[in-house]
Structure 1
Amino acid sequence: METTTVATNNTFVRQCIIKFIHDIEKQYSINVIFACEGGSRGWGTHTDDSDYDVRGIYILSEEQYMSVSKSKGILSGFSQTIPQTNVLFDYIFIDFRKFLKRNIFNEKNQLNLILQSKTWYINKIPQDILCQLKISLPIPLKGIKGHLNDLVKQLKNVQKISPKKALNCLIYGLQLIHIYMYNSFPFYSCQEEIEFLQNQMVNNEDKLNMEQKQNVQLDNIVEDFKIDQILDKFKQYLELKQHNQSSIPEQDNQIIQKFIQDIMSYKYNNTIQSLTPSQLDQIFRKMLSYKYQNVE
């Protein structure tokens, strides 16, 4: 089915999604304090016909939290159609209190990564709280590995790998490499992550030339995982996807699968820190008292 002319208008699509978010707020008496684009459009690996993956956080009033009736916690919908188009979008909104509770020493919570996305629809979180959350929430190491493990199962004994699946493997792999090297959240945008890693490698090489090896771990990881090759493959597969190619070259299958295997078996012993329950409660209380100003 062909995409209608209006569906290619990103401004129109954005306005429709923001209107949908406001309608959700009215329907459920909630206040969406953060909404962004996830998935391929958040990563920057989308094509014109890619769907939209809207992810967000909402908050209730203090009276609602004190009520005996419980919040749904998570609101979600899949394959929603944007009016006047055949463009699809999915959405997941999580209650802020539930979001914080799930983050106590939780390395599986993939929703932590949405705060790294720069493709916002709505942001009402105060800058100081947003910065604190970005730095202090647990990095979802196990969640990323879980996605990679699922991909390994899907690719087992497969002769042809689609560019989309190959890119997903490299995206999660590069995210893990970032965590291994810097014990911090990776970039959400693939382009930002690639540029960051390339700059780090160049800077480290310059210091090596001056006999000032600054990051031995970086140097070893670049060599062990053949990062230069992986970054080149990423660009190739992105081009294949944009040209609607059905598969990557068969000789690359082993490269992808070995990359995943090496990444998954890497010994990473750093302890991932988290906010304490009392700190999370302070953030929650501050958000309840905040007078929201929307940034769209």
Structure 2
Amino acid sequence: MEGIIKEELKCIEEMHNVKILYACESGSRAWGFPSKDSDYDVRFIYINHPDWYLSIDDKRDVIELPINDLLDINGWDIRKALKLFRKSNPPLQEWLLSDIVYYQKYDFINNLRALSSEVFSPISCFYHYLNMARNNYREYLQGDQVKIKKYFYVLRPVLACKWIEQHNTMPPILFKDLVESTLSEGALKTQINLLLDRKIQGEELNLEPRVNVINEYIDLEIKYLEAYIKTVNFEASDPTSKLDELFRKTLLEVWSS
């Protein structure tokens, strides 16, 4: 599959006259709990030719391929990526942490990673994960019968919030690392690990009776996290000049030859 993905990325470069700087896996595969039928969520950052940026008109800064049952591939222009990075965009921060890297060239992504701690906003990331947890919990896990696999899409953001509270840094991307670092041994952790084992082994985790110990934990934590974030103050420095410099440096590195 990796070969197919790399071929698709090469076609994107040729079709759109861009250079891809970085491509990685996002979603359940990167988080460590793919299903047997999970698609590949490929995300990439690319750079256009310098002339593309010298225009009085705004241009589309996203490249997306049609989604099919196997592949979901889309990417952001470097300027869009840097603007979102300046806001500590959590999905982009997760791309930088992905263990599944399909392509990396030039110095851009290493330079971007070096700035991650400087631009990280605990409040921005906390609210991103908290809202994800609340929305998924409300939509999928309220009945006596629930979509069991949706527990991962609530627990992961809840545990990410707990990590930010405790460490004030971007959370690990792997779900199992979050579980190990934030939860003590006991019935809750045991139930979560049982579900994780079932999902990784390819079981169809559809409608089943709710897992009360997990629901009770989520209920309590969401209420706690909602109260906690209101007490947090954070003053962010402005990294714009450094990101401008990185943008110009990357343009020269990629296109000077």
Q: What interval of TM-score do these two structures reach, taking the shorter chain for normalisation?
A: 0.7 to 0.9
Contact 1:163-1:238 within 8 A present in 2 as well:
no
Q: How far 1:165 moved relative to its partner? A: 0.8
Aligned equivalent of 2:75: 93
Pick which of 41-50 and 247-256 moved more: 247-256
Render the CA deviation track for 1:87-115: whole Å, top value 9, x for unaligned.
512122011111112333x2555323211
Matching of residue 39 in structure 1 with residue 27 in structure 2: yes
| 1:123 and 2:104 are equivalent in the alignment | yes
User: TM-score scaled by structure 2?
Assistant: 0.83
Pick aligned residue for 2:210 from 250, 260, 278: 250
Distance across 1 between alignment mates of 2:226 and 2:75 = 30
1-side partners of 2:159 and 2:152: how far apart? 10
Please say if 1:30 is aligned against 2:18: yes
Runs of at least 5 residues in structure 1 that lack an aligned partner in the other structure: 1-12, 81-86, 199-221
Q: Does 1:161 align with 2:119?
A: no
Q: 1:59 to 1:186 in 2, by over 3 A?
A: same
Per the alignment, residue 196 of structure 2 pairs with: 238
Alignment-derived partner of residue 243 in structure 2? 280
Partner AA of 2:203 in structure 1: H
1:186 aligns with 2:171: yes
Residue 39 of structure 1 deviates from its aligned partner by 0.5
Q: Which residue of 2 aligns with 1:203?
A: none
Describe the shift of the 1:283–1:36 C-alpha distance in structure 2 as closer, same or farther (beyond 3 A): same
Structure 1 residues 125 and 257: alpha-carbon distance in aligned structure 2, compared to 1, 3 A threshold: farther
SS in 2 for 1:168: helix
1:142 Cα shift?
2.4
Conservation of the 8 A alpha-carbon contact between 2:30 and 2:98: yes
**Offset, 1:74:** 1.4
Q: Tell whether 2:114 aligns with 1:132.
A: yes
Q: Does structure 1 retain, via aligned residues, the 8 Å contact 2:96–2:113?
A: no
Q: For 2:241 and 2:84, how far apart are their aligned partners in 1?
A: 14
- Kindly tell me: are residues 159 and 119 of structure 1, through their superposed partners in 2, closer, same or farther at Cα, counting changes over 3 Å? same
Unaligned runs of 5+ in 2: none
1:247 to partner: Cα distance: 4.0
- Cα distance, 1:255–1:142 mapped onto 2, change above 3 Å: closer
Would you say the 8 A contact 1:108–1:142 is kept in 2? no
Contact 1:76 1:91 (8 Å CA) reproduced: yes
* CA gap 1:192/1:275 in 2 versus in 1, 3 angstroms: farther
- 1:244-286 deviations in Å (ceiling 9; x for gaps): 2324542423333333333333345152635521111111112
Q: CA separation in 2, counterparts of 1:177 and 1:125?
A: 35
Secondary structure of the corresponding residue to residue 53 of structure 2: helix
| Residues 272 and 108 of structure 1: CA distance in aligned 2, closer, same or farther (over 3 Å) | farther
Task: State the Cα deviation string for residues 168-210 of structure 1 (Å, max 9, x = none).
Answer: 1111111111111111111112233344x16xxxxxxxxxxxx
Alpha-carbon separation, structure 2, partners of 1:109 and 1:188: 11
Residue identity opposite 1:88 in structure 2: L
Residues 174 and 94 (structure 1 numbering): CA distance in 2 closer, same or farther, change over 3 Å? same
The count of residues paired between Structure 1 and Structure 2 equals 246
**1:151 maps to which of 131, 136, 139:** 136
RMSD of aligned alpha carbons: 2.6
2:48 aligned partner: 60
Deviates most, 43-52 or 71-80 = 71-80
Match of 1:263 in 2: 225
**Aligned equivalents of 1:32 and 1:41: distance in 2?**
21
SS of equivalent residue, structure 1 residue 158? coil
SS of residue matched to 1:55: strand
